[in-house]
Amino acid sequence: MKSINPFTGKVICDYKEYSSSEVEKIILKVDQAFHSWKLKSFEQRAIFMKNLQARLLVKKEELAGIITAEMGKVKLEAFGEIEKCASVCGYYAENAESFLKNEPIKTEAAESYISYQPIGTVLAVMPWNFPFWQVFRFLAPALMAGNTGVLKHASNVSGCALAIEQLISEAGFPANVFRTLLIGSKEVKAVVENPLIKAVTLTGSTLAGRSVASTAGYALKKSVLELGGSDPYLIMEDADIETAASLCVTSRLLNAGQSCIGAKRFIIADTVYDQFKAEFVRLMSEAKFGDPLDPQTAIGPLARIDLRDELHQQVEKSREMGASILLGGFIPEENTPFYPPTVLENVVPGMPAYHEELFGPVAVLFRFKTEEEAIRIANDTVFGLGAGIFTSDVGKGKSLAEKGLEAGCVFVNDFVKSDPRLPFGGVKESGYGRELSMIGIREFVNIKTIVVR
């Protein structure tokens, strides 16, 4: 399990994969830890969680450096990721008790109420693109609910995975409340099937989601999936074009375009199409890509060369089928996984750029003449994670967000971003279940009915 710096191409570390017996021993220890951890009060758990929040901020420079080295994230964005992890720790430390307090229900009984109780050890299968945040948005609510956790992280960010386990220890949590499993994808099935694992959460590809969900379903275990996205952004004719273009470019280039909720498809009113296109292409062309440690760099490398090659094949196949390339669309350096900001138009059904998720700094522009046409194009995808609408008519924007767009979250006059206070997740092939907020912490608890005569 090699960790390779995508910018330099140098091996950071070669990690030894855990054996099946080592994995089973770790899971047993984590299950044993659960039986005492679940008995701690919310106040006691919150002390550990606030310690973890503090450790993240104290070690921000070091942790951001690991992110940048392992997957190429621009350093400033890596700082922001660690800060966001700290915020979700603080959020659940402050709110978990109120989210999970007993809820009285009026019935004929003397007393009846709902009690929210932890279920045990939860397996998290996580990706490399936000190697700390994806883990912490599961970890903070799961631990505060009284569960324990094991992490199977992406192999190319094993350093991040071990750093998270170390942070938990440094924050003073009881031993084995949270552990990392250094295993490959082929070993996940056996972990899900382990009777001491009570539920599983996965963020990743649709293919990985299907595999894990089918295994969990057969084992009758709860699963939550956050999968891919091909987020549409509607640019209405009354939108502030400069603001819309700026925010759309920011969303498309964040994390070098390697984001499930990054803006990917831009559906623009015919009357403002040329104006938006000109501003959008200009801003995309000005984004500098290069050394992720350079503060002037806007876009770092993609995480791996194979990911760059796959993205370029999607662009090339679409071009061969008739798509127009307005910007980019080439491999700048053969031996490093850079891909330039790229803009396509004249994309039609049948092309990869129309149907598939473009996991990199590639944007697709569409033109619409009627509101109905805009909604049809936006929803003509197997995905349903996020979406955006830019309009000066906020009432209409809200109406389209509620009743028109098929997505788990829709932002009006802004780009989609996760927030600890708001539920996060998708519909269709973008997955099911929700993370974050009160809803997220209730995904992995026993919603228990108590009736007293």
Count Cβ atoms below 10 Å from residue 196 Cβ, excluding itself: 18
Q: Is 269 helix (H, G, I), strand (E, B) or coil?
A: strand
**70 catalytic per annotation:** no
At residue 312, φ and ψ (nearest 5 deg) are: -65, -35
Q: How far is C-alpha 403 from the geometric centre of its chain's CA atoms?
A: 25
Q: CA dist 50 to 8, 160, 172, 421, Å?
A: 36, 20, 10, 17
Q: Is 114 helix (H, G, I), strand (E, B) or coil?
A: strand
Q: Which of 85, 89, 160, 260 is catalytic?
A: 260
Phi-psi region of 439 (alpha: psi -120 to 50; beta: other; left: phi over 0): alpha
Shortest CA distance to 318 belongs to which of 285, 280, 281, 344? 344
Q: CA dist 388 to 350, 403, 410, 416, Å?
A: 24, 13, 5, 7
CA dihedral 293, 295, 296, 302 (to 10 degrees): 40
Shortest CA distance to 23 belongs to which of 187, 214, 201, 216? 187
Q: Is 435 helix (H, G, I), strand (E, B) or coil?
A: strand
**260 catalytic per annotation:** yes
Q: What's the one-letter identity of residue 22?
A: E
Q: Are the beta carbons of 261 and 231 closer than 8 angstroms?
A: yes
Q: Is 148 helix (H, G, I), strand (E, B) or coil?
A: strand
CA distance 31 to 450: 26
CA distance 260 to 203: 9
Q: Which of 77, 226, 279, 406 is catalytic?
A: 226
CA distance 315 to 334: 16
Q: Which residues are catalytic?
A: 226, 260
